[in-house]
Structure 1
Amino acid sequence: MSEIKTITPEEVKTQLSEGVNLHLIDVREDDEVAEDMIPKAVHIKMGEVPEHLDQLDKDKEYIIICRSGGRSGRVCEYLNEQGYNVTNMVGGMLEWTGPREPKL
């Protein structure tokens, strides 16, 4: 199995501030994202990822986010096995210092 790519919250914040169009997927539970998410992130709960595969494009790179990087790592492994280009945001929202907004 190929190695899962990782990115730090700081790198994500820098790329967003530079206007890079990132595809962010937050896999936390509803109550977690109700408080705050990275603006522009899409919320797909970890347990619901398999039924949302049709919404993902294998030609795009997705950055997967959770609270600390554990769940997102497992989602990355799963999506990687399905042929998707994914990167795990290590440290998760615990280490995120960029803008936050409640889930709309």
Structure 2
Amino acid sequence: MVHDAVSRLRLDYAPVMLRHLSQQDESGLQSAYELGRGAMRDSVGLLEVVRVHNEVFLEVHASSRDLEEARRTARAAAALLLELVAAFEMTQRGFMEGRPAPE
């Protein structure tokens, strides 16, 4: 069921975001990419993935202590979102390349 998959994504994504915001390394980005692939396999739509990201981000962002921390959080979260949706982008490109060229 897609609802269960969305709930699971949210539960899995929150610790990935928190870890990435504190470490900002490649492992967090890789984890987000893998979660995106899993969401796609589970038939979670791109809009739902972005909604989950935004919900988690807003919860984390609300705890920023000052403007500079809020900016760092926003930049790191944006990079994480790009990795989260990268699998969708690659699938779309593969689909578009497989289509016949318009005449």
TM-score, normalized by length of structure 1? 0.33
Please state which structure has a larger fraction of its residues in strand: 1
Please state which structure has a larger fraction of its residues in helix: 2
